[in-house]
Homo-oligomer: A and B are copies of this chain.
Amino acid sequence: MELSERKKKILEVIIRDYINSAEPVGSRTLSKRCNLGISPATIRNEMADLEELGFLVQPHTSSGRIPTQQAYRFYVDEIMEIRKLEKMIRTDIHRGFLDYNNELGTTISHTAQVLSKLTNYTSVILAPRITNYNCKHVQIIPLIKNRVLMVAVTHEGIAKNVEMSLSSEVSEVMALKLSNVINGFLKNSFLKDMNSGFLDQIQELSQEESNLVREIIPHLKKALFEDASEIHSTGLTNLFNYPEFSDVEKIKQVVNIVQEKQVLSEILTGNESGKVVHIRIGNENDNENLKDFSIITSTYELDGEMMGAFGVIGPTRMNYDNVSSVLNYIRNELNLHISNLLMK
């Protein structure tokens, strides 16, 4: 799929133009914009070639051309580059983060806001998640009757709540004892290896106590391994301003996606490419509802381990340039900031 330099240039200009205007691009307008000094007729020939190669389509005969998803993919892979943001914007973002330097939760929702503001699309962000290996400490707190709250804390200092009903009422003293049993195990082993077998090794537990622990463990595992983390989203209405969303059906699609936290979370974490900024265009999305959208995601880390993900949802006619650059920068800022917040 080798394109001549000129074809490449023409394709680039068409894509850029279409991303801006959402209008099919014709040869006349193009010849003015593209400073190659070639006439509309020549451009028409080149465009016909590009159409044959699958990069362009005409909404109808005798209209201008619009880029295909293949064209966007080519643009993303071969043409565009992740830019460094303007100095002013960089310092703006940086200062913004400093204002939210106390709370993990507010940092996360602040990030979502910055993202949607800078890109004018819809942003989503997944709060730090609990990983397989990092559960450090749990605490059982009696609520009422046979209901208890379990708080699990990771090595990174992230807490998660699990509420549950047990088979009998739990006193404060009992809660403390149960916590201690589980924590004793966690000191030496990983949560994933925890099964009810370890109880046999502990002599001083009454029948009731070990029953309770047996009830608790599945809840703990489920909460940590299966439950979706909290997810934030802002700028949903940003999308409604784009002409491709004048159709109510399209709006429904995107609203549904953003409300389906579970789906969203899978989308955000599914990055097979291994790239820092991961771009999925239209059909490349597995989710049926996302086939008409593009989504660009990235992740943030702590101490080398992936903690969460964030991204931007927009039309396939997305400003890939800008969004990638923003995501790339935010990623760095977020990493820095979270590490300041949590690291020993």
CA distance A240 to B252 in the complex (A): 7
Partner of A144, one of B156, B236, B246, B248: B156
A343 to chain B, nearest CB (A): 8
CA distance A42 to B246 in the complex (A): 44
Main DSSP-derived SS at the A contact region? mixed
Q: Is the CB of B153 within 8 A of A157?
A: no
Q: Of residues A102, A149, A158, A246, which shows the largest number of chain B Cβ atoms within 10 Å of its Cβ?
A: A149
A142 to chain B, nearest CB (A): 8
A251 to chain B, nearest CB (A): 6
Q: Which of A51-59, A67-75, A159-167 contacts B (4 or more CB under 8 A)?
A: A159-167
A123 to chain B, nearest CB (A): 13
Contacts of A139 in B (CB 8 A): 139, 141, 151
Q: Does A204 contact B (CB under 8 A)?
A: no
Q: Is the CB of A163 within 8 A of B156?
A: no
Q: Does A103 contact B (CB under 8 A)?
A: yes
Contact indicator per residue, chain A 302-344, by CB within 8 Å of chain B (1) or not (0): 0000000000000000000000000000000000000001101
Contact indicator per residue, chain A 225-253, by CB within 8 Å of chain B (1) or not (0): 00000000010110010000110100110
How many A residues, CB 8 Å from partner?
39
Taking A159-B149, A256-B237 as contacts, is the C-beta distance between A144 and B344 under 8 angstroms? yes
A257 to chain B, nearest CB (A): 11
Q: Does A105 contact B (CB under 8 A)?
A: yes
Measured CB to CB, the nearest residue on chain B to A172 is: B137
Contacts of A342 in B (CB 8 A): 144-145, 147
Contact indicator per residue, chain A 183-208, by CB within 8 Å of chain B (1) or not (0): 00000000000000000000000000
Taking A163-B104, A237-B255, A240-B251 as contacts, is the C-beta distance between A157 and B145 under 8 angstroms? yes
Q: Does A143 contact B (CB under 8 A)?
A: yes
